[in-house]
Amino acid sequence: MWQAMARAGRTSDWKSPELARYATGNALTTITRSLYADHFNHVVTRGTPKNFPQITSVEPPKAPETVMISDCGDSTGTSKVHEDSGKQVRGDDPGGRRSIKAEVKKQPDGSWKVSQFAVQGVGTC
């Protein structure tokens, strides 16, 4: 999901169909709203975050329908820039390692998608 978001962020393509391959519900809404805001403000994202996801729980254990994932994502090397000038957006987060928690749910078609996530501030892991 994060890689799809990074690809969409290069042009702030909030309508990218790739996003819905990996996210649904609250997670998809959060991502598309963020990308739409960037699109509206003529801002794009440069760089790609690094992720280190680990499964922390599965429910139910014998036939999982929900998986919880923890990550210490690294946004160092990513930045938001003005589309026309390429200059970094004032007040843009400097990037770094941050705690991420995500809920991934099995979909009726058998695929797995992130349904919700929470990203903490830089330095939280």
CATH architecture classification, 2-122:
Roll (3.10)
- Encoding tokens for residue 54? 């680990």
Where in the chain are the domains? Answer: 2-122
pLDDT for 108 equals: 97
Given a cut of 80, whether residue 92 has pLDDT beyond it is no
Name the band, by pLDDT with cuts 50, 70 and 90, for residue 66.
Answer: very high
